[in-house]
Amino acid sequence: MYEAFFVSPQWLHQYLTNENIILVDASAPPPTDPTDYQQRYYQEHIPGAQFFNLDSVADQSNNLPHMLPDEITFTHAVEQLGISNHHQVVIYDQGALFSAPRAWWTFKTLGCNNVKILAGGLHGWKKAGYLLDSGMPAVRQRQHFTAKCIPDQVVSQQQVIALLQQPNVQFIDARPTARFNAQQPEPRPGLRMGHLPGSKNVPWDWLVNEGCYKSPEELKTIFANQQVDITLPTVISCGSGMTAAVVLLALILLGNKNVKLYDGSWAEWGQDNGSPIETH
């Protein structure tokens, strides 16, 4: 099952010079992390990799962070990277599988069907002993890409309010437990503390180890321990829609075909806007 979503460093090394494969570094920082990941990409990246900035290739008309871009914005960005609908895209991040799933979800939601994640990310590539590159990448020839948004993979605040009334839909929050339980302030100023009513807490980093997902058996145990039914229709949220994608992909790996991402997540819901919250 994992092979449908991931490639290994060994596989990528074997096919690195294949013209049909486009490698993308989609690293992004947590809200309190000042690291410039694009600058770190210039310092070291897998040879041939292009940088995809999740914060700039986004809905800039929305003041929420890195919201899903429209088809035109996404098309322009991926064409500039030399990506067509026929290329095999391989995404990695420089961290511990923090942002690669969000980039994977963005590509899939906007019609890029041939997209996988490098298991282990940059760390796994380096651990395997493979060479790195630095500086600006070679400019690729611009390609033609046709974006086609799949709207039922993402939900809005209004849709969440409606879905909260449906007993067969479950909500999962990927934030750390202390934030979920209103024991620790949100890193983004001005937000209330708490969580969506009735939601379950599965912190994203419980599901991964050294940039890879844990085994299906371990994932099932983690979800079961948090009273999550992995077969139910599910909406995932987090702080800003980034790590929600980590939990979303984990459920897809376990066979759930009805899982959606609440893009605004707590950055939107936690505002003083009258949305109902729970604090324990």
Angle between helices 244-253 and 100-109 (to 10 degrees): 70
CA-CA distance, 205 to 177, in Å (whole number)?
A: 11
Token pair in block for residue 228 = 């999550």
Catalytic site positions:
238
CA-CA distance, 93 to 122, in Å (whole number)?
A: 6
Q: Do residues 203 and 222 lie in contact, with contact meaning Cβ atoms separated by under 8 Å?
A: no
CB-based contacts of 158, cutoff 8 Å, min separation 6? none
Q: Do residues 213 and 97 lie in contact, with contact meaning Cβ atoms separated by under 8 Å?
A: yes
Helix runs in the chain, H state only: 9-15, 37-43, 71-80, 100-109, 121-127, 157-163, 177-180, 216-225, 244-253, 265-269
CA-CA distance, 41 to 37, in Å (whole number)?
A: 6
Which DSSP helix (H) or strand (E) runs through 203?
none
Residue 195 has a CB neighbour count (10 Å cut-off) of 23
Strands, E assignment, 88-169? 88-92, 115-118, 154-155
Question: Phi/psi of residue 262, each to 5°?
Answer: -85, 105
CA-CA distance, 128 to 130, in Å (whole number)?
A: 6
Residues paired with residue 92 on neighbouring β-strands, in sequence order:
25
